[in-house]
Amino acid sequence: MGLSSRMAGLSRGMRAFLLVDLVLVLALVVVAAVVLSGALRSTGPRDTGSDVDPAPSASLSGQASTPTPTATGAGLASFTTQLRNIACTMSDEGVTCTIADKTFVPPGAEACTGTIGHVVVAGAEGVDTPCVDGPAPAKAAPDVPVLEYGSTSTVGGWTCTSATNGVTCVEDASGTGFRLARAELVAIG
């Protein structure tokens, strides 16, 4: 089922919600790309290819680094993981997450002429990975709060949990949602 036929099955309000979320996520990606433009490559934590930050509280020189906003959850509307590879926006209607670096191939990739799998949207209609025009998103900006590993954030009827193996977001009432990590996207429920 193509994106246009899936979108046609959504209510007008849900389509508007998804469109606004997508625009906001893409705007965040553009701002992050402009702000970071290479800064993470020269001063950020070493990317080991996993979702684990090798030294979250020290700079490469061993000196204490400038603290990043962190949180233990309880209602962050927007957050990122410790490596800033996954960033999510939560609302009463659902969750939208982006992933900068991924190795999995999402369903529907062969039909997408843009990028697919870098944006995951969960809402009343289920989980979707829209085909998006343009490049993959950049890692989250330094001012986006970090949801520490083992912590959760709940907004509306949705709960997201950050862990070393990715981010899991589920609708509290139904238990449906997804787990997103560099190596895979798994539908839940």
How many C-alpha atoms does 25 have within 13 Å on its Cβ side?
31
Domain contains 63: no
Provide the number of structural domains found in the chain: 1
What are the tens digits of pLDDT across the range 97-127?
Answer: 999 999 999 888 888 888 899 999 999 889 9
58 within domain boundaries: no
Q: Has residue 39 been placed in a domain?
A: yes
Asked if residue 61 is part of any domain, the answer here is no
In a domain, 54, yes or no: no
Query: Is residue 167 scored above 70 in pLDDT?
Result: yes
CB 123 within 8 A of CB 47: no
How far, in Å, CA of 153 to CA of 80, rounded?
11
Output the pTM of the full model. 0.63
Mean pLDDT of the chain: 74
- Which residues in 17-157 belong to E strands, given as ranges? 70-73, 78-80, 86-91, 94-99, 119-123, 126-128, 146-155
Mean pLDDT of the region 25-38: 44
Q: Return the pLDDT at 181.
A: 97
Helix (H) or strand (E) holding 170: strand 166-171
- Is there a domain that residue 152 lies in? yes
Q: What are phi and psi of 6, to 5 degrees?
A: -65, -40
- The residue that leads in pLDDT, 84 or 28, is 84
- Cα–Cα distance measured from residue 3 to residue 49, given in angstroms and rounded to the nearest whole number: 30
Does the residue 57 lie in any domain? no
Statement: residue 93 has pLDDT above 90: yes
134 located within any domain? yes
The domain in which residue 42 lies consists of 3-49+68-188
